[in-house]
Amino acid sequence: MPFVKHQVTEIVEREERKQRRDCASLILQLSDPTPTARRWAARDLVECPGSSAELVARLQREEDSSVREIILTTLTQLGDERAVAGMVSCLRSEDAALRNEAIEAMKLLPDEVSPIMSNLLKDPDPDVRIFAVNVLESLRHQQVENWLKEVIEQDAHVNVCAAAVDLLGEVGSSYSWQALENLKIRFPDEPYINFAVDLALKRIGNS
């Protein structure tokens, strides 16, 4: 399901702008006590290219899911370095919903995310590495298979490799065949790895 829900868009479309719309005022309105005002401010800040830092700061403490969705929509449209860095920081959040929303947003920014993907896949936190693999699921970029191949060749964490193998079963080619075979040697006592690799090889062989 897309992270921007149709119903949220409809809510924003129905609401009336009742406050000033210059950039400084919009940034202040991100802290308005009413979700309506925060939604409008977040949407209109798309016209303010320097507002990514403020949007990210609000995103990290925003409790209303409809406001978060609009903030993420605006951040994907701005797509600058601060916007992407803010989404990456959400991958470390304890809030599972926020993490998932950030993952969905990052999938929409292949050109902006690709320069940092290698570092994400080498992050010290294995959970962040798994989330990075999740981003690759729908990231339209020519390096996706190569990144996944590097994961299964180099990552020492079985769960990270398992996530990469699952995705290689969908997007992989013969290019990754030997790396998949070698993964079973690296994790000989992990039944799921053996199962997932065999399934991925079968899918690649039938493609």
The DSSP-derived string for 153-207 is HH---HHHHHHHHHHHHHH--GGGHHHHHHHHHHSTT-HHHHHHHHHHHHHHHH-
Confidence of residue 17 (pLDDT cuts 50, 70, 90): low
pLDDT in tens, 91-124: 999 999 999 999 999 999 999 999 999 999 999 9
Is pLDDT above 90 for 147?
yes
Average model confidence (pLDDT) across the chain: 92
CA distances from 179 to 3, 5, 203 (A): 34, 39, 15
On whether the CB atoms of residues 168 and 180 are closer than 8 A, the answer is yes
Q: Residues 51-56: what's their mean pLDDT?
A: 98
Confidence of residue 10 (pLDDT cuts 50, 70, 90): low
Question: What is the predicted pLDDT for the residue at 14?
Answer: 53
Question: What is the predicted pLDDT for the residue at 21?
Answer: 79
Q: Residues 58-83: what's their mean pLDDT?
A: 97
Is pLDDT above 70 for 4?
no
What does pTM read for this prediction? 0.86
Torsion of CA 31, 32, 35, 36, to 10 degrees: -130
pLDDT in tens, 172-202: 999 999 999 999 999 999 999 999 999 999 9
Question: What is the predicted pLDDT for the residue at 9?
Answer: 55
Is pLDDT above 80 for 16?
no
Question: What is the predicted pLDDT for the residue at 1?
Answer: 47
Instruction: Tell me the C-alpha distance between 81 and 88, whole Å.
Output: 11
Helix 144-154 and helix 177-186, axial crossing angle in degrees, nearest 10: 20
Look-up of token digits 């829900």: 5
